[in-house]
A = this chain, B = another copy of it.
Amino acid sequence: MRIGELSERTGTSRRLLRYYEEQGLIVSSRSPNGYRSYDENLVDRVLQIRGLLDAGLPTRIIKQILPCLNKPRVIHFPDATPEMLSTLTLERDRMTQRIECLIRNRDAVSEYLDTVSAGATPDRIPQASAAR
């Protein structure tokens, strides 16, 4: 597919798709006329990239963790240098930290919302405010 379709199907501007390519996150072949041509599976990959970017990972790191997500997981680990493995390990741990932080805060927000909607929507039920 061409860039316009990929853009629409992923909700990502053409500009960004070219940027991701420039950063080595996705690849494209070129049609004879010079147009970029994308494989079907790039839709998922782009969505994944967007999710990770949104979660605070820089493209540099995303580029390193993306290869871990290809379906044929078996074949491609001869190229793993030890320092790359340690980077991955470190980054995995940082992801875990992020997850924990997000969960903590999301739960707090959620609890707050529950409390408010319990206390505000029905005529104000007082004992709800004493909860916790």
Contacts and interface: CB of A to CB of B under 8 A. Distances in A.
Interface of A: 48, 51-56, 65, 68-69, 73-74, 77, 80, 82, 85, 88-89, 91-92, 95-99, 101-103, 105-106, 108-113, 115-117, 119-120, 129-130, 132
Nearest to A50: B101
Number of chain copies forming the complex: 2
A27 B22 CA distance: 42
Nearest to A110: B92
A102 B119 CA distance: 33
Contact of A103 (B99, B111, B130): B99
A42 to B, nearest CB: 17
B130 A74 contact: yes
B115 A69 contact: no
B65 A116 contact: no
A57 B104 CA distance: 14
B99 A51 contact: no
A115 B45 CA distance: 22
Which of A52, A92, A109: most chain B Cβ within 10 A? A109
